[in-house]
Amino acid sequence: MLKIAVLASGGGTNLQAIIDETEAGRLDCSIEVVVTDSPSAFALERAKKHSIATAIVEKSAYPKRKAFDAELVRLLKEHGVEVVVLAGFMRLLSSVMLEAFPMRILNIHPSLLPSFPGLNVQQQAIEHGVKFSGCTVHFVDEGLDSGPILLQAAVPVLDTDTPESLAARILIEEHRIYPEALNIIAAGRISIEGRRVIIKEA
């Protein structure tokens, strides 16, 4: 069983999806710890409700990115974490984390990368006039939402969409493909060739 940590800054619906799939026996992972940079993150309540260990690493305590990441590494190693799952974690990671978990950090992003990296991406997608958007699970590298892509799912963008309505449609797909991506990793079904992540048949 793959030992994971989920890092979340906000509401934690992706965390909830991972918890639910794990408890239903459909996800071959154990969540060793949920870490947040924000003491008010609702993700903390979700973890506690399911008796999952939690930790808060506040930005104010570690204003320098590398010191923040060194504390993260210490915590994650203490919990025996093998794969780090960013789920709405709104902080860029430095080389300290990337070197401690090479190709072992995953992120989910609410657009079809490489379109619309960064923030407010549902609004950007609507303003750009794209007809489809979606979500991407990718490995984290030193860039912004730029690492090798593992899974994507597309949703239509409607003429009537607001950023909120599009975000909600995308989240449904996020909750489906993030657990799927974790199962693929837990089963050792990937190899990486250059930028391409090749998924072997189950």
Is 175 among the catalytic positions?
no
Cβ 71 to ligand GAR shortest distance, Å? 21
Question: For strand 29-36 and strand 105-109, is the pairing parallel, antiparallel, or unpaired?
Answer: unpaired
Q: Are 6 and 85 in contact (CB under 8 A)?
A: yes
Cβ 117 to ligand GAR shortest distance, Å? 8
Strand partners, 190: 199
For residues 38 and 80, which CB has a smaller minimum distance to ligand GAR in the complex?
38
Candidates 79, 109, 128, 138; catalytic one: 109
Which residue is at the shortest CB distance from ligand GAR?
A: 88
For residues 8 and 185, which CB has a smaller minimum distance to ligand GAR in the complex?
8
Interface with ligand GAR (CB under 6 A):
8, 10-14, 87-88, 108-110, 171, 174
**Cis ω for the linkage preceding 114 (within 30 of 0):** yes
DSSP letters along 42-97, please?
HHHHHHHHTT--EEE--TTT--SHHHHHHHHHHHHHHTT-SEEEESS--S---HHH
For residues 154 and 187, which CB has a smaller minimum distance to ligand GAR in the complex?
154
Structure tokens at 159: 């003429």
CA dihedral 102, 81, 38, 87 (to 10 degrees): 70
For residues 87 and 105, which CB has a smaller minimum distance to ligand GAR in the complex?
87
Active site residues: 109
